[in-house]
Amino acid sequence: MRIAIAPSPLQLIDDAWLRDMGMQLYLKRDDLLNPTVQGNKWRKLKYNLLRAQELGKDTLLTFGGPYSNHIYATAAAARLFGFNSIGIIRGEEPKDKSYTLKFAASQGMQLVYIDRTTYRNKDDENYLHQLQLQYPNAYIVPEGGTNQYALRGVAELVQEIDVPFNYLCSACGTGGTLAGMVAGLKGEKQLIGFSSLKGDDALTEQIDKLVQGYAGESYKNYSVNFGYHFGGYAKVKPELTDFIKAFKKQHNVQLEPVYTGKMLFGIYDLLKQGYFPKGSTIIAVHTGGLQGLSGYKDWFPDVASEFVE
C-alpha cells in the first residue's frame, strides 16, 4: 500500500485591506487534498492506515458523533484502501440518519450506537481492551483520529510551506492537528490554534502531552485562542455566517461554520485589533470539512440556506 499526499496549494489572499496593513495572509488549501477524505483528517489517517496494514488488521474501528468529519473520512479512507470499517457512534440510533452517517453507511461502515455514558469511556484502557477482544481484526483509531500517527502525518504539512512566514494558524477540535504542526515546526515560528469548542487549559495540556509523546520535547511557541467558538461546537451566529458568505464572495473560497470559518473570523478580528506586528506573514490552514456542508441543511436549518448553495 502506498499513500502519496501531494503538497496542497498555498494561496495568497489578495485583499487591499491586508495590503494596506502590510500583512500577508496565505491559505494552505488542505481542503483540496482529496474530495472525500478532506484536509487534516486525511493527514491524520495516513500513518494510521499504514500502521493498520503493518499489524495485519483488516478493519478500522473508530469513534465519533453523528456529524463527525472523522467518521466520514475514516469510512471513505477504509473503502479506498480496502479495509472494513466500524464506527462507534455517540448516542442512540437516530430515526433520520445525518448526512454523515448515511455517507459512512454507504461506504460500508458498520455503525454501532452506544449511549453517551458508555461513550465517555472511549479512551479508557479497559474499555478499549474489551473492544479489541470483541473485534480482534480491528485497528482502533481514537476519536478525531488523534494519536501519535496522526501527529506524524500532520507534521509533514509544515515541510510543504515554501514561503517565509511568522504565524501558522489552525482550527482546533481535539488539538491533534495543532500538535502535529507544533511537532513539525520544532520550536520555530508562532502557532495559534482557534478552538471550535468552549474549552480551557485542559486542551493546551492535552496538546502539550501529545507533542511530548511524539517529539519527546515540549515547545512553548503556540497558544490556543478560545475567543472565537461562538458559543461552542457547531454553534453559529449571524456575524459568522455573514463572514463566511463575504469571504466566499471576495476570494472564492468556501469555508464551513464549525472550524475554518471560526478560525478565519478570529484571524481577521485579531488583525483588526493589531495583534499581529506589521509586516507579518500568516499562514492559515484550510483543514477542509466542506463535505459536512451538505449535511448542514439538517444541522443548521435556520442558517444553512444562507451560505450553502
Closest residue to bound ligand PLP by CB: 289
Q: Which is nearer to ligand PLP, 175 or 295 (CB)?
A: 175
Instruction: Report CA torsion sign: 263, 8, 297, 115.
Output: negative
171 binds ligand PLP (CB under 6 A): yes
Binders in 64-103 for ligand PLP, by CB under 6 A: 69-70
Q: Which is nearer to ligand PLP, 113 or 233 (CB)?
A: 233
62 binds ligand PLP (CB under 6 A): no
d(CA 278, CA 241): 28
d(CA 89, CA 109): 11
288 binds ligand PLP (CB under 6 A): yes
Q: Which is nearer to ligand PLP, 41 or 152 (CB)?
A: 41
174 binds ligand PLP (CB under 6 A): yes
Binders in 138-167 for ligand PLP, by CB under 6 A: 144, 146
Binders in 252-281 for ligand PLP, by CB under 6 A: 259-260
Please count the other Cβ atoms lying within 10 Å of the Cβ belonging to residue 129. 10
Nearest to 75 by CA among 35, 43, 36, 34: 36
Q: Which is nearer to ligand PLP, 98 or 135 (CB)?
A: 98
Sequence-distant (≥ 6) Cβ neighbours of residue 197 within 8 angstroms: 172, 173, 203, 229, 232, 233
d(CA 12, CA 44): 25
177 binds ligand PLP (CB under 6 A): yes
Sequence-distant (≥ 6) Cβ neighbours of residue 115 within 8 angstroms: 91, 92
Q: Which is nearer to ligand PLP, 33 or 271 (CB)?
A: 33
* Residue 14 cell numbers, joined: 489578495
Nearest to 262 by CA among 299, 301, 289, 282: 289
Q: Which is nearer to ligand PLP, 31 or 276 (CB)?
A: 31
Residue 279 CB, shortest distance to ligand PLP, in Å, is 28
Instruction: Out of 172, 185, 224, 267, point to the residue binding ligand PLP (CB under 6 A).
Output: 172
- From residue 174, alpha-carbon distances to 90, 94, 170 in Å are 16, 25, 12
Q: Which is nearer to ligand PLP, 135 or 145 (CB)?
A: 145
289 binds ligand PLP (CB under 6 A): yes
Residue 258 CB, shortest distance to ligand PLP, in Å, is 7
Instruction: Out of 87, 153, 175, 199, point to the residue binding ligand PLP (CB under 6 A).
Output: 175
- From residue 120, alpha-carbon distances to 33, 128, 141 in Å are 32, 12, 15
Sole window of 82-90, 175-183, 216-224, 264-272 interacting with ligand PLP (rule: CB under 6 A): 175-183
Per-residue x/- marks for ligand PLP, 29-48, CB under 6 A?
A: ----------xxx-------
- From residue 27, alpha-carbon distances to 38, 123, 285 in Å are 15, 33, 6
d(CA 70, CA 217): 27
- Residue 160's DSSP bridge partners are none
Q: Which is nearer to ligand PLP, 135 or 284 (CB)?
A: 284
Sole window of 93-101, 104-112, 119-127, 170-178 interacting with ligand PLP (rule: CB under 6 A): 170-178
d(CA 36, CA 69): 10
Judged by the rule CB under 6 A, the positions of this chain that interact with ligand PLP are: 39-41, 69-70, 144, 146, 171-177, 259-260, 287-289
